[in-house]
Structure 1
Amino acid sequence: MPAARSTLRVRLVAPLLLMGIASACRSGGGSAAGTPVGSVPAGGAPVAGATVPAPYVIADGQSQVTPAFADSSQWVRERLWVETEFDSDYDGRKDRVHVDVTRPGPTASGLKVPVVYETSPYFAGTDPNEDIFWPVKQELGAPPPSRTLGKGAAYNAGRTRISNSQVRTWVPRGFAVVHSESPGTGLSQGCVTIGGMNESLAPKAVIDWLNGRAKGYTTATGGTEVTATWATGKVGMTGTSFNGTLPVAVATTGVKGLEAIIPVSPNNSYYRYYRSHGLVRSPGGYLGEDVDVLYDFVQSGDTARRALCHARVRDDIMRNIDRRSGDLSDWWVQRDYIAQAKGIRAAMLTAHGFNDWNVMPSHTTIMAEAVRANGTPVQMYFHQGGHGGEPPLAMMNRWFTRYLLGVQNGVEQDPRSFVVREGASRQSPTPYAAYPHPESAPVELYPLKGGAQVGGLGLARLAGQGTETLTDEVSQSGAQLAMAAASPHRLLYALPTFTQPVHLSGTARVTIRVSSTKAAANLSVWLVELPYPAGTNGAMDPRGIVTRGWADPQNAKSLRRSAPLRAGEAVSLTFDLEPDDQIIPAGKRLGFMIFSSDKEFTLWPSAGTQLSVDLDATTLVLPVVGGTAAISRAVP
């Protein structure tokens, strides 16, 4: 699929065999290098956790490539259809999902192996039409304009292979690799639902089949069964973007046999993906996308079923997404995997980029906290880039070796968090005891008047700062506003120039008291480095951006019910910006910018709405490693 159309849709290719990461990530009780598990290394002591047979070789706590597994001429490939527990295309028969398997040669001789599993709605192609997004030129609170409906991808009934992703990485290490196509895509039956229960239950059925609890068949409609006698029943899932969302979705079911997941840039809440604190907000790079657009985009199943699916599913989506108010509803909650996190028991190694403005990093940080509360092992890997970016292969290998092969390699004692520091290789993250950094503490900062140019930020609240006003003008991008020495379209407040680096780690929070001249208004907040670099290239360019956030003042009291603003009457909002972990260098200033419509993320109302911000009731809370003392040392 074209890279330009990859919202929640990163095309996965076979991962490269990456170098190992720092020794801090390899602590623990793995076997001696090159020693087959079950044997006794030189020195006479048995290998800790020796539970897997030859031809496995474990070194540094990782399953190694061995000749018996790596001989692709001996690999066994098969395809089948697994029967699910639902009928999402309303034909009176339980849906079957299309599955393919690639397993090491020794499985033909009786060896049982665990499975690395990836499922996706993208494997069979996507809608090539570039004109299916919602128009964003819309007055706030008004009915949205119509959009062009998509037709999906061409149906290919003759496909014999789903994907080769993951195969070259994991089969040579002794894992089978399984793929499946989501309901309503490729050769799988059913309807696409974008977050509906069938998207969680379809991969559950595949895991049940691998454990002998569900039936598989040689064809989509026939009765000849296929069993997975070669499988140990232990399954690990991974994938990026939508393919990273689905491991989380199936994990919420608590299905037995799913031992570990490695979700990369997962969308863990569709409301968070398409809304922000009550505001209709597009994912970065895909202005005008919403759930129904993604529904159209992934259609690749049997064209004979699509009209019925549109009538039963797409029409329901379009009735419920509510682009008029952006309010939260039960329909959205049903598509929120964070709300379903209590069911997750699979050990989770999760990865995200702090400059991912497509699936934003709060999806991962909030989910990790929820899963850890279950007593489930959680490890987090962060980098400074954008969408996608797997952990180093050594981290992934240790995770699957521990939880799928049962080798006691010490991952439980590894640091909980790894962050790729600025300018470092993604293969060399820095370990931390936790995320946020254990020494991070909230620092309250208060704006000082002068925001039409650049006002100050103080560690103490100074009374009498009064109210400052900006005028909405969506034609001005956030980057343009941050670069401007002065502008009537934003308010900007900044700390003095840092004399030493300042490490931010965690989630910033703002409280803003604001009034509007109209009944509805967008509210956008950016934290930026100043001077903001010239020549930045749109919403996805990380230069100059620390973090962002958006909110709807109409939802100041409730996400579920908008309350129209009364002209001149102020409301107070408190909301989080996106989490971050970065070191701002000496010589920079940290700026707090408030504006209205964000050209690259929000709806585009006509210009002229005025927002007035009460500086005496506005606060920025920064997560600073070292707290107030660190900020005090860094500024004059």
Structure 2
Amino acid sequence: MQGRKVLLAAAVAAAVFSSAGKANAQTPGIVVENGETQEAFNYAGAVRDRVWVDSDFDSDADGLADKIAVDIIRPAETNNGLKAPVIMDASPYYSTLGRGNESQLKVDDASGLLQKWPLFLDNYFVPRGYAIALVDMTGTNHSTGCPTVQDATDNNAAVDVIDWFKGRRTAHDKDGNLVPAPAWFNGKTGMIGKSYDGALAAAAAVTGVDGLTTIVGESGPYDYYDYTRSNGVIQRGGHYVSSLANTVTDANRQAYCKPTRDKIDANDADATGDFTTPFWNVRNYVKDAPKVRASVFLTHGMGDENVRFDHFSRFWYALQDLGVPSKAWLMQTGHVDPFDNSRAKWVDTLHHWFDYWLEGVQNGIMSQPQVSVETSPGVLTDAASWPVPGTKQTQLFLKPGAELGLAPATGAEQTTTFQDSASQRETAMLANPTTVTANRRVFLTPPLSAPVRLSGTPTVQLDASADKTSTHLGAILVDFGPAFPRVNRATGDGVQTLTTTSCYGQASAVDNGCYKDVGERIDTTTTAWRVTKGVLDAGHRTSRNVTTPIVAGTRYPFSFPLLPNDYTFPAGHQIGVVIVGSYRDYGTTASTTAANITFSLKNSRISLPIVGGDVAARAAGISGGEPTTTTVADTGSAFTATVAGSAPAASPLPADLMAEALNKADFAGFTKLDTAGGAVQFLDGGQPLGAPVPLVGGVATLPVPALSGGSHQISATYVGAGAYAASTSAEITRLVPVNSTVGGSVPATLSLVLGAPATFGAFTPGLAKDYTATTPATVLSTAGDAALTVSDPGHLMNGTFSLPSPLAVSFSKAAWTAPVSNDPVTITFKQHVDATDALRTGAYTKTLTFTLSTTTP
């Protein structure tokens, strides 16, 4: 029924395009409605091509350059001017293991052209104006040469095909005729593929080849050393690389390609697990991420035991650090194509991704949340990035009493010893966590009072020694608690094929575009759920390049990453860490030394990427906190709070082993616990004084704010962070003066007080003489200024008689520029009498007027 609906929609879309085509038959084009390309071209009438692209390499050393076969299907309108982008899937599986959940193989028709095309890409995208190119990887199916499992000769196959599309390389048909670069190509290629195919897409991307616009990598191994080893422990021994090369080689060429495989065996370092260069370098695309020029859409199953989830995270971290346009789709399943997870939503998302990057359709996909994470079976939750925002690496310590907490044990250091067992199975490692056994150690948090979500890559650091010169170490992060629905990745990669089918795109007589539906397998019984795990070969503790034996009895900081995950521990469950030696169910070879391993219960720890960090851990009831002492001081201009505590610092992480396993920030910032971090809340009388102040070097500084007058009791509370517990200081007193106002008023006053009247005494007639007299005065003024003046003195008078010479008056001080009080002034009088002046008997007098005035009362 669903298929009929899709085909009916296709017929309508084709009719719409056909009508438009009559208006401009010379230039057919795509049809875009509602932000996506529509079915406007006929799949059954599409053009099919097969060409062989000429390479420059010779993988089988036969003296002839290899030829890469590529099958192309494209709308017939490309012969009449339609420009089409290419969606390419380069694969070694088209004639051996097949593609997709139903293991579809390429099937040719009688003329030697591809008739049955694996997967849905052709049915869905060709009617929307795309060309599909399926490339037979070097040495597989119709291509010549021999597979080398992602050596340069494998990886360059797709690159050479892109070069041909762009006109930089030659190609021929089955008869040897030169085939020119296609005129219909719009210049943009998008590669897609799962597993090996996804790695080939990444390998092409890290060349920076012009013409590769985007890749969609699905569960690809992006570092083949990490695919066959894990931190120096061999996961896939027995010359796995050459074994895979044999698997993807057609049966009739396997014997012929044996010399090529022998050369692989001679360089894989299976005997030591070392990272031999250049054998593994060419198969590591993470280190070459800076060369990527295409956008990248990665999908992966977090429960993938074939290509483990750290292949995604390592490549993803590198791309994010570089700012490469990217998107991610993360599932709880194992090695599964998202087409077999959330099919309808995946096809819709993939459609919009290719439309945007290859056809230039502005559909908003790059403004949508960057990541979709399956947070519970069948539920996809969007996030702005991954690890999700707010995630912080939070260290939990392995402590005596099987405790797992936010701080190391106090007091003298204790240790614990267990013996490595090469035969111990994972079921035994996880069973009965509170029972001490000889071959493991288990550490538990209290039951959680709130959910705790992890998002990212955990790291274990064991401060340990062994009584042998070599051993393995393993760690398992476990959710202990009542069962609840989770994807059962242990069986069938967490999925099962159903009896129903769904159809995508258009059909032809031999390809109906219909596929069996797939459902998730759900576990509802497990009470000890392995969340993630990790292993380390002690000889590769600092480098994967070379084995360095340990010295028996010598303590080392053994650091190694666990596989990343995005997982929520429910409330009521316990977070558990299981420490073991060999871990055979990891898929690795086991150590044969049966070493006794001793590790510190003070310095050993696991760093978990917790959403919300230590704040969320504390809120969930995870106990611990190194005791701290907070002291507060008053410097006059600022209050300071010093937080002191003691906790063992984490040892630096080995760069060669772990730089690619973590994002740059987590690697560089692996917590150093010798100085408290976090913030301090200053208090005034028990009430918050401003906002919390971050600690810098263990000290928080708050400039003294405006305080009211009186006595203030200042203290500081350290809120706790990481391994440090909260603490509050004693109070100190800050006295702020209290202002009080007293006043009075001054009336305006200008006062001049004169002393006794002045007298010259007796004038002597007939004698020329100057007579002088004085009188004191006192000035009082509240004005801003004052001036003392006298009226015109005139002449001394005796009745009607006057002295001929005028009376003169002067002041010792006559001006003031500020208020004065009782300021003394001497007034001097001077009178001249000449020898010829006629003097009349009696008293000569004169009344004068003195004035004290102001301009600023």
TM-score band, normalised by shorter chain: 0.7 to 0.9
TM-score by length of 1: 0.80
CA contact (8 A) 1:496 1:635 kept: yes
Residue of structure 1 in register with 2:134 after alignment: 179
Higher RCO (CA < 8 A, seq sep 6+): 1
Taking the TM superposition and a 5 Å limit, the aligned residue runs for 1:362-377 are: 362-377=310-325
1:631 aligns with 2:617: yes
Three-state SS of the structure 1 residue aligned to 2:182 is coil
Pick closer, same or farther for the CA change 1:362–1:273 going to 2, 3 Å: same
1:430 aligns with 2:390: no
Residue of structure 1 in register with 2:215 after alignment: 261
1:279 aligns with 2:233: yes
Three-state SS of the structure 2 residue aligned to 1:72 is coil
Deviation of the 1:408 alpha carbon: 2.3
CA contact (8 A) 1:278 1:326 kept: yes
Taking the TM superposition and a 5 Å limit, the aligned residue runs for 1:63-462 are: 63-64=37-38, 66=39, 68-69=40-41, 71-126=42-97, 160-161=113-114, 163-165=117-119, 166-219=121-174, 222-282=176-236, 290-300=240-250, 303=253, 309-311=257-259, 313-330=260-277, 331-390=279-338, 392-425=346-379, 429-450=380-401, 455-462=402-409
Pick closer, same or farther for the CA change 1:72–1:187 going to 2, 3 Å: same
CA contact (8 A) 1:279 1:550 kept: yes
Pick closer, same or farther for the CA change 1:615–1:293 going to 2, 3 Å: farther
CA contact (8 A) 2:400 2:409 kept: no
Residue of structure 2 in register with 1:133 after alignment: none
Letter of the structure 1 residue corresponding to residue 230 of structure 2: S
Question: Distance between the aligned counterparts of 2:242 and 2:418, measured in 1?
Answer: 34
Deviation of the 1:126 alpha carbon: 4.9
Deviation of the 1:301 alpha carbon: 7.5
Residue of structure 1 in register with 2:476 after alignment: 526
Deviation of the 1:298 alpha carbon: 1.3
Deviation of the 1:370 alpha carbon: 2.1
Of stretches 351-360 and 619-628 in structure 1, the one that deviates more from structure 2 is 351-360
Question: Distance between the aligned counterparts of 1:73 and 1:316, measured in 2?
Answer: 45
Q: 2:446 aligns with which of 486, 496, 515?
A: 496
Three-state SS of the structure 2 residue aligned to 1:421 is strand
Taking the TM superposition and a 5 Å limit, the aligned residue runs for 1:11-90 are: 55-64=29-38, 66=39, 68-69=40-41, 71-90=42-61
Question: Distance between the aligned counterparts of 2:227 and 2:580, measured in 1?
Answer: 21
TM-score by length of 2: 0.60
Deviation of the 1:456 alpha carbon: 0.9
Question: Distance between the aligned counterparts of 1:525 and 1:295, measured in 2?
Answer: 32
Q: 2:551 aligns with which of 544, 556, 566?
A: 566
Deviation of the 1:531 alpha carbon: 3.9
CA contact (8 A) 1:422 1:583 kept: no
Pick closer, same or farther for the CA change 1:248–1:35 going to 2, 3 Å: farther
Moved over 3 A (4+): 156-160, 306-309, 372-375, 531-543, 604-608
Residue of structure 1 in register with 2:538 after alignment: 553
Deviation of the 1:504 alpha carbon: 0.9
Q: Deviations over 1:565-614 (max 9, x none)?
A: 33222221112211111111112111111111212212134483322222
Question: Distance between the aligned counterparts of 1:607 and 1:335, measured in 2?
Answer: 31
CA contact (8 A) 1:381 1:418 kept: yes
Q: 2:602 aligns with which of 616, 622, 627?
A: 616
Instruction: Please state which structure has a larger fraction of its residues in strand.
Output: 2
Residue of structure 1 in register with 2:425 after alignment: 477
Question: Distance between the aligned counterparts of 2:490 and 2:537, measured in 1?
Answer: 23
Letter of the structure 1 residue corresponding to residue 371 of structure 2: S
Question: Distance between the aligned counterparts of 1:157 and 1:104, measured in 2?
Answer: 19
Pick closer, same or farther for the CA change 1:212–1:417 going to 2, 3 Å: same
Letter of the structure 2 residue corresponding to residue 173 of structure 1: R
Question: Distance between the aligned counterparts of 2:387 and 2:95, measured in 1?
Answer: 39
Pick closer, same or farther for the CA change 1:60–1:387 going to 2, 3 Å: farther
Q: Deviations over 1:55-108 (max 9, x none)?
A: 5233443223x2x32x23211112121111222222333211111111123223
Question: Distance between the aligned counterparts of 2:265 and 2:479, measured in 1?
Answer: 39
Residue of structure 2 in register with 1:594 after alignment: 579
CA contact (8 A) 1:509 1:574 kept: yes
Residue of structure 2 in register with 1:510 after alignment: 460
Question: Distance between the aligned counterparts of 1:168 and 1:582, measured in 2?
Answer: 36
Gap regions ≥5 residues in structure 2: 7-14, 21-26, 99-104, 340-345, 495-522, 623-857
CA contact (8 A) 1:112 1:232 kept: yes
CA contact (8 A) 1:119 1:180 kept: yes
CA contact (8 A) 2:426 2:583 kept: yes
Of stretches 90-99 and 186-195 in structure 1, the one that deviates more from structure 2 is 90-99
Deviation of the 1:414 alpha carbon: 2.1
Q: Deviations over 1:316-372 (max 9, x none)?
A: 221222222212221212210111212211111111121112212221222123234
Question: Distance between the aligned counterparts of 1:518 and 1:509, measured in 2?
Answer: 24
Three-state SS of the structure 1 residue aligned to 2:247 is helix
Deviation of the 1:168 alpha carbon: 1.5
Three-state SS of the structure 1 residue aligned to 2:400 is coil
Bigger Rg over Cα: 2
Identity score, percent: 31
Question: Distance between the aligned counterparts of 2:416 and 2:117, measured in 1?
Answer: 56
Question: Distance between the aligned counterparts of 2:68 and 2:481, measured in 1?
Answer: 53
Q: Deviations over 1:530-587 (max 9, x none)?
A: 1486998859678612111111111223222212233222221112211111111112
1:604 aligns with 2:552: no
Question: Distance between the aligned counterparts of 2:425 and 2:35, measured in 1?
Answer: 49
Three-state SS of the structure 2 residue aligned to 1:262 is strand
Question: Distance between the aligned counterparts of 2:268 and 2:351, measured in 1?
Answer: 40
